[in-house]
Amino acid sequence: MNIVLLGSGNVATHLGRAFKMAGQTIVQVWSRDVEHARELADTLASEAISDMDDINRTADLYIIAVKDNAIRELALTLNIGDKLIVHTSGSTSLQALDGVSGHTGVFYPLQTFSKNKAVDFRQVPIAIEANNPEDLAAIRAIADRISERVTELNSAQRKALHVAAVFACNFTNHLISISQQLLEDENLDFDLLRPLIAETASKVQLYDPATVQTGPAVREDNEIINSHLEMLRDQPELQDLYRKLSQSIVNLHKQTRG
Amino acid sequence: MNIVLLGSGNVATHLGRAFKMAGQTIVQVWSRDVEHARELADTLASEAISDMDDINRTADLYIIAVKDNAIRELALTLNIGDKLIVHTSGSTSLQALDGVSGHTGVFYPLQTFSKNKAVDFRQVPIAIEANNPEDLAAIRAIADRISERVTELNSAQRKALHVAAVFACNFTNHLISISQQLLEDENLDFDLLRPLIAETASKVQLYDPATVQTGPAVREDNEIINSHLEMLRDQPELQDLYRKLSQSIVNLHKQTRG
């Protein structure tokens, strides 16, 4: 299968690698900045382009993996006839590709991608969507080549999944950044926290997260909570987050117990 | 070595198991509720007690693993002479044991313990503290028997570590609970998020969390952020957390770039 990849960011990079490892051909990588296109294209034995006029019009699949707010504009500049085109966004509806081709779809890989960290793509859930069963079947066949976890979601479900992923990944990673800063303030090594972070994620592979909640908030140990808030008195933003998150834990577990 | 364990919660349970697996003897488990004491004591081939008068006065080590606000009161009822006594709290100072014995210390295992989830204690960091080098050496020798990651911290450092752990573990687990709820609202399976959660934790084993931050906030993709806030309009608590955490991500990364 011949694929044109539009975009050169984290998602484009990891998708390109996954398809290449699965024996597919990335014929071109497009990016507004040809240097960015080349950097990725070189690792995929692919051609780098930045001019839309140079696009290969005979590929089997066109993957738009750019920032959400650039998807529609870019799609409308594509001039490739009735080819199969997908975007990779969690929060953009399928309709963003309306009028671009008769065969459009969504191909949303749910994972946190950083360029220099390899990922086992076979385990990455891919949420797919299309306007008709034929296109959906075609997209599913493509997704099956790189992942064991392909699932059909409509645009509303995919968006809910994306919001959930922001909480479960982006926000948790940020809280971990905060924890590293708190350690650095006391000249403590972040390695002290790494086993705890690994175990926190390991637990929820087996259990529902609410059932393994630990810490002062779920115990409603206000003495500890207040002493922690006092410790954070010079960092009002962190103090506010600590207070809000503790209250949210109390609220959730009152509900559950109630 | 003979150990008396005061407490029967998650920390007492996991410490008891770790010492038993390391070939030590838990001679007694004390709990205010003798049934709770018995439940743990039975798994440790130990005696269950709830009356402080029954305490074995010849053990080598007394471990107080109860709620922070009960530590001092419980310690003051101990009548065991000049024996080595430690508490296991992250946020309670060593001074909470003043006047209880000439040999006091802290033995804080940094991990999230749930009773029915096994933990590799060899990898659990243990923060230790004592009033003098001899007691510290004795506590270190004990801690070395169950963990490879024993480290001396003073009370202020240990408290900072505990606050950091609340962010890195308790708060992250709660955000994961929220993500599960968001999926359930759309009848989506939590399994969709599990690979993402595993990868989020896996990344920070190798990298600093701030360097692998992903998502709409770090990209300052306000279109997505606003569409997510709109999706959460009926859940003001979640909307507020989403807004605050996104702003905190923007602030941190402005600082870093700035």
Phi and psi at A135, nearest 5°, equal: -65, -40
pLDDT tens for A156-178 read: 999 999 999 999 999 999 999 99
Instruction: Flag whether pLDDT at B185 surpasses 90.
Output: yes
Mark yes or no for CB contact B176/A209 under 8 Å.
Answer: yes
Mark yes or no for CB contact A173/B203 under 8 Å.
Answer: yes
- Which pLDDT band, with edges at 50, 70 and 90, does B241 fall under? very high
Chain B partners of A172 at a C-beta cutoff of 8 Å?
172, 175-176, 197, 200
Which residue out of B123, B183, B199 would a mutagenesis test of the A interface target, given it has the greatest number of A Cβ atoms within 10 Å? B199
pLDDT of residue B114: 83
Closest residue of chain B to A155, computed from CA coordinates: B186
Q: Which two tokens stand for residue A47?
A: 């051609």
pLDDT tens for A73-109 read: 999 999 898 999 999 999 999 999 999 999 999 999 9
Residue A236 neighbours by CB distance under 10 Å: 9
pLDDT tens for A173-198 read: 999 999 999 999 999 999 999 999 99
pLDDT tens for B70-120 read: 999 999 999 898 999 999 999 999 999 999 999 999 999 999 888 888 889
Q: Which two tokens stand for residue B160?
A: 């900072």
pLDDT of residue A117: 84
Residue A60 neighbours by CB distance under 10 Å: 15
Mark yes or no for CB contact A149/B195 under 8 Å.
Answer: yes
Percent of chain B with pLDDT over 90: 92
pLDDT tens for A29-82 read: 999 999 999 999 999 999 999 999 999 999 999 999 999 889 999 999 998 989
Burial of residue B137 (number of CB atoms within 10 Å: 0-12, 13-18, 19+) = exposed
Distance from CA of A112 to the nearest CA of B (A): 7
Complex ipTM value: 0.91
Task: List CB contacts of B69: < 8 A, sequence separation 6 or more.
Answer: A221, A223
Q: Record the pTM.
A: 0.91
pLDDT of residue B257: 66
Instruction: Flag whether pLDDT at B252 surpasses 60.
Output: yes
CATH code: domain A2-153 is 3.40.50.720
Chain B partners of A199 at a C-beta cutoff of 8 Å?
111-112, 119, 169
Closest residue of chain B to A187, computed from CA coordinates: B157
Which residue out of B197, B225, B226, B251 would a mutagenesis test of the A interface target, given it has the greatest number of A Cβ atoms within 10 Å? B197
Q: What's the average model confidence in pLDDT over B248-257?
A: 88
Chain A partners of B110 at a C-beta cutoff of 8 Å?
192-193, 195-196
pLDDT of residue A257: 66
Q: Please say whether the beta carbons of A20 and A44 come within 8 A.
A: yes
Pairing of strands A84-87, A2-6: unpaired
Task: List CB contacts of B226: < 8 A, sequence separation 6 or more.
Answer: none
Instruction: Flag whether pLDDT at A258 surpasses 60.
Output: no
Q: Which helix (H) or strand (E) holds A12?
A: helix A10-21
CATH code: domain B2-152 is 3.40.50.720
Please give the mean pLDDT across all residues of chain A: 95
Percent of chain A with pLDDT over 90: 92
Instruction: Flag whether pLDDT at B160 surpasses 90.
Output: yes
Instruction: Flag whether pLDDT at B256 surpasses 80.
Output: no
Sign of CA dihedral B57, B62, B67, B70: positive
Give first-to-last CA distance, chain A, whole Å: 55
Percent of chain A with pLDDT over 70: 99
Mark yes or no for CB contact A175/B174 under 8 Å.
Answer: no
pLDDT of residue B59: 97
pLDDT of residue B118: 87
Instruction: Flag whether pLDDT at B46 surpasses 60.
Output: yes
Mark yes or no for CB contact A112/B214 under 8 Å.
Answer: yes
**Is A230 strand, coil or helix?**
helix
pLDDT of residue A234: 96
Mark yes or no for CB contact A167/B178 under 8 Å.
Answer: yes
Task: List CB contacts of A177: < 8 A, sequence separation 6 or more.
Answer: B208, B209, B210, B213, B252
Burial of residue A230 (number of CB atoms within 10 Å: 0-12, 13-18, 19+) = exposed
Dump strand ranges (E) for B177-240: none
Which residue out of B72, B119, B162, B178 would a mutagenesis test of the A interface target, given it has the greatest number of A Cβ atoms within 10 Å? B178
Dump strand ranges (E) for B93-191: 103-109, 126-130, 150-152
Q: Please say whether the beta carbons of A216 and A228 come within 8 A.
A: yes
Mark yes or no for CB contact A245/B204 under 8 Å.
Answer: no
Mark yes or no for CB contact A166/B201 under 8 Å.
Answer: no
Structural domain boundaries in chain B? 2-152, 159-257
Q: Which two tokens stand for residue B228?
A: 């997510």
Chain A partners of B160 at a C-beta cutoff of 8 Å?
182-183, 185-186, 188, 231
CATH code: domain A159-257 is 1.10.1040.20
**Is A77 strand, coil or helix?**
helix
